[in-house]
Structure 1
């Protein structure tokens, strides 16, 4: 799947975000990288529709976001809702998990991803 046209500044931002991941993003990445999660392939810090999503499975149009406490602030909530709506209008399914949920219950997070990705409850 070709990349969405993206200004060079945004692409550079995505590159730098790959180098500085939160502990929750890193934990989730370790579970899903290199097709470790039931053979599913994900891209990290992937540009879509002018946004940079945490993880994407372009073949299934699936986005996985790891949200920290900053996502509870009023402006962030509105921004996240607008972003999710835009991605869904383009046919993407957006899954959001709280950082705490990823850190404390990675197995259930992964199971949910597998089910939504269409592999059923064969986890």
Structure 2
């Protein structure tokens, strides 16, 4: 069931996810292979790189509400227990400073 939902989400990516995805694919040349909308530990994450174990979660403004923050914290704990580092990015960062986001991400990948 999670795989079917992930497949649907891959077909309906937001413009911010598409923009980030196109740039993440460029990191293959450096040895970092990302998958999009991946089911891990009954969660569907936006992007995952299995070596090193890094998950990217792209967040919109709704994630700043108390309910979303609590749900995100629970997901993060579950993914961290599974051995993943969580890299959270706001949609507006992708829109306004994608190069900066990728620079921070690359640093995280190289030091994980």
Query: Is TM more than 0.5 here?
Result: yes
- The residue that corresponds to 2:91 in the other structure is 99
Q: Is the 1:38–1:114 Cα contact (8 Å) retained in structure 2?
A: no
Q: Give unpaired runs (5+ residues) of structure 1.
A: 1-8
1:73-114 CA-partner distances (Å, limit 9, x unpaired): 221110000100111111100000000001110001001111
Pair 1:19–1:56, CA change in 2 (3 A) = same
Q: Give unpaired runs (5+ residues) of structure 2.
A: none
Number of aligned positions between the proteins: 112
Q: Is the 1:43–1:57 Cα contact (8 Å) retained in structure 2?
A: yes
Q: Is the 1:31–1:37 Cα contact (8 Å) retained in structure 2?
A: no
TM-score when scaled to structure 2? 0.92
Which structure 1 residue ranges, 4+ long, deviate > 4 Å from structure 2? none
- The residue that corresponds to 2:72 in the other structure is 80
Backbone CA RMSD of aligned residues: 1.7
TM-score when scaled to structure 1? 0.84
